[in-house]
Structure 1
Amino acid sequence: MNTPLIEAVLVVLREVLEFALLVGILLAAGAQAGARGRWLPAALLAGLAGAWGYMRSMGAISAWFDGVGYELVNAGLQILVYGLLLGVIGLLARYPGRAPGAFGWLAAVAIVSAITREGSEILLYLSAFEGRPQAVPDLLLGAVLGGGVGFSAGALLYYLLRGLPQRWAGWVTILLLALVGAGMWSQASALLIQADWLPAHAPLWDSSAVLPENSLPGQVLYALLGYEATPGPWQVALTAFALGAALLTATAGTWLRVHPHGDRDHD
């Protein structure tokens, strides 16, 4: 079995899937709202630069907060992306078909933050093979294969969303953003538990026999929902709260659109 090749495919696929699906959803959301994707090239370049800088600083960052800086910074990036997605959800629900200028900024910063985190993981993994030149060809091939599958999934999701009937497309996109945002909190809570900032408890269930995390469906669900086969109570509770807050934001945005002068009606 070609271990470096398989490992590279799985590692790169796992990380690329997360931001590729996010890019696909945000591009579809922008297209539905009449916003061009001019923000994407700059966001991708800034994200790659951030990933490189983050990877190079990983040793120093890991020493922060008594040795749990890596976990806390990653959790912070996940929570930041969630907050930005809440803003996007609110705008899409409040202004369907016409995205304000803030949409591009929110989407761009979300992409930069996601690529900074996921890209640094890929670069860190690849850098571990510097002393093994014989493994480099398999490593690069695996990275290309994993990246190709991940980006293809993002492109497929984009075209699926663009192909939906107009009456469904907006709400399906908002629901996917809400699920992705909840997945961010799932991953963030797991990191906070690792850092002992949240208490650790026994898992509520174990679904690894039905859906292993390292399977392709498991990887996709991890990218979309932060899927974990053995989640603890804090992870489940914060994920559910994040999903509820995202749906509440969408509901509030819709109410403001339908009742733009609702507050004045009570004067």
Structure 2
Amino acid sequence: MLLTSVVIIIREVLEAALLVSILLSMCRQLGISQTWFKWAVLAGLLGSVLYGQQMGSISSALGGVGQELSDAGIQILIYLCLLYSCQKLVFYFKHRQGLNRLLFIAMAAAIALAVIREGSEIYIYLSAFQGREESRLGLYSGSVIGLGIGFSFCALFYYWLLSFSPRRALFFGSVLLSLVAAGMILQGGKMLIQADYLPDGQAWDTSGFLPEDGLPGQLLYAMVGYEATPAPAQVAMYILAIAIMLITLTLRYKAGARAEMQWRRDEM
């Protein structure tokens, strides 16, 4: 139970921790206020408990696929929030103007939704086993260790990104956010397949050398939504999600560069 709890908690915490560390480090490098973060985490923690408590009724809704559809909806919303947030940060890096309240709402919503999704899974897991006295010690000890590892990873990744120059930090942060966001779409596609909204299938099978239940597979799942046997529909959604992110970021970077040049001409 101890090792199982550690692995499960790490898997659930890492995805949200990676998202938090990237967004906070990008804001720090660009000199953007981070006061929105505490409200995002608070909303996420409260929401995860409420979402976990209502999971039974959610699962039975919509013909028994309520959980799959709600999970897919959360993933898609996180992707859209990250798409908006990242392109605004890229534009601001070049132009140093254009920040608005919607940016802070989008970043807060992305983190809150990620905490709700991952936190509800932890809440359900702990609730399922806390009634077994023989398992409590391993359950809670493993959970604390898993949380500690997850938070340590978040802190290390945050300071690693801060070690770069603002330009490089923005580049690496944008690439990582694109991968994380596309991973959300990949996982959302899996939920839609389970709900019979998308066709099933198998594009390839990498479980022979990189199984999902191993530590490397768990880490890749948390970071980029890795699956050993993805369906063709998931692969298509993943590629499209990355393409949209990269094209949008490139266009916004160029727009910011043009705006910066125009501003300098006006100043001269």
State the TM-score bracket (shorter-chain normalisation).
Answer: over 0.9
Aligned match of 2:162 = 162
1:8 to 2, 5, 8: 5
Aligned match of 1:146 = 146
Report the number of matched residues.
258
Checking the alignment, whether the CA contact within 8 Å between 1:89 and 1:249 is kept in structure 2 is no
Checking the alignment, whether the CA contact within 8 Å between 2:30 and 2:166 is kept in structure 1 is no
User: 2: CA distance between counterparts of 1:130 and 1:148?
Assistant: 20
For 1:259, what is the secondary structure of its paired residue? helix
Q: Percent identity?
A: 46
1:261 Cα shift? 10
Deviations 1:92-141 (A, max 9, x none): 22111747243322111111101111100000011111331121111000
- Identify the range of structure 1 (67-76 vs 251-260) with the bigger mean alpha-carbon deviation: 251-260
1:58 Cα shift? 0.6
Aligned match of 1:265 = none
Q: TM-score, normalised by structure 1?
A: 0.92
Checking the alignment, whether the CA contact within 8 Å between 2:69 and 2:191 is kept in structure 1 is yes
User: 2: CA distance between counterparts of 1:120 and 1:214?
Assistant: 20
Checking the alignment, whether the CA contact within 8 Å between 1:92 and 1:174 is kept in structure 2 is no
Q: Relative to total residues, which structure has the larger helix share, 1 or 2?
A: 2
Checking the alignment, whether the CA contact within 8 Å between 2:183 and 2:224 is kept in structure 1 is yes
Runs of 4+ in 1 over 6 A off after TM superposition: none
Aligned match of 2:214 = 215
Checking the alignment, whether the CA contact within 8 Å between 2:83 and 2:245 is kept in structure 1 is yes
User: 2: CA distance between counterparts of 1:95 and 1:216?
Assistant: 37
Aligned match of 1:75 = 72
What CA RMSD, in Å, does the superposition of the two structures yield over aligned residues?
Answer: 1.6
Aligned match of 1:30 = 27
Checking the alignment, whether the CA contact within 8 Å between 2:22 and 2:177 is kept in structure 1 is yes
User: 2: CA distance between counterparts of 1:174 and 1:233?
Assistant: 26
User: 1: CA distance between counterparts of 2:47 and 2:155?
Assistant: 23
Trace 1:94-113 onto structure 2 (pairs within 5 A): 94-96=91-93, 98=96, 100-101=99-100, 102-113=102-113
User: 2: CA distance between counterparts of 1:7 and 1:57?
Assistant: 25
Amino acid at match of 1:63: S
Aligned match of 2:180 = 180
Amino acid at match of 1:236: V
User: 1: CA distance between counterparts of 2:150 and 2:251?
Assistant: 33
1:217 Cα shift? 2.2
Kindly indicate whether residue 39 of structure 2 is the aligned counterpart of residue 39 of structure 1: no
User: 2: CA distance between counterparts of 1:152 and 1:45?
Assistant: 20
Checking the alignment, whether the CA contact within 8 Å between 2:130 and 2:139 is kept in structure 1 is no
Aligned match of 2:265 = none
1:6 Cα shift? 1.4
For 1:231, what is the secondary structure of its paired residue? coil
Deviations 1:172-229 (A, max 9, x none): 111111111000001000111011110111x221112222222222222111210001
Structure 2: 5+ residue stretches without partners: 262-268
Checking the alignment, whether the CA contact within 8 Å between 1:213 and 1:229 is kept in structure 2 is yes
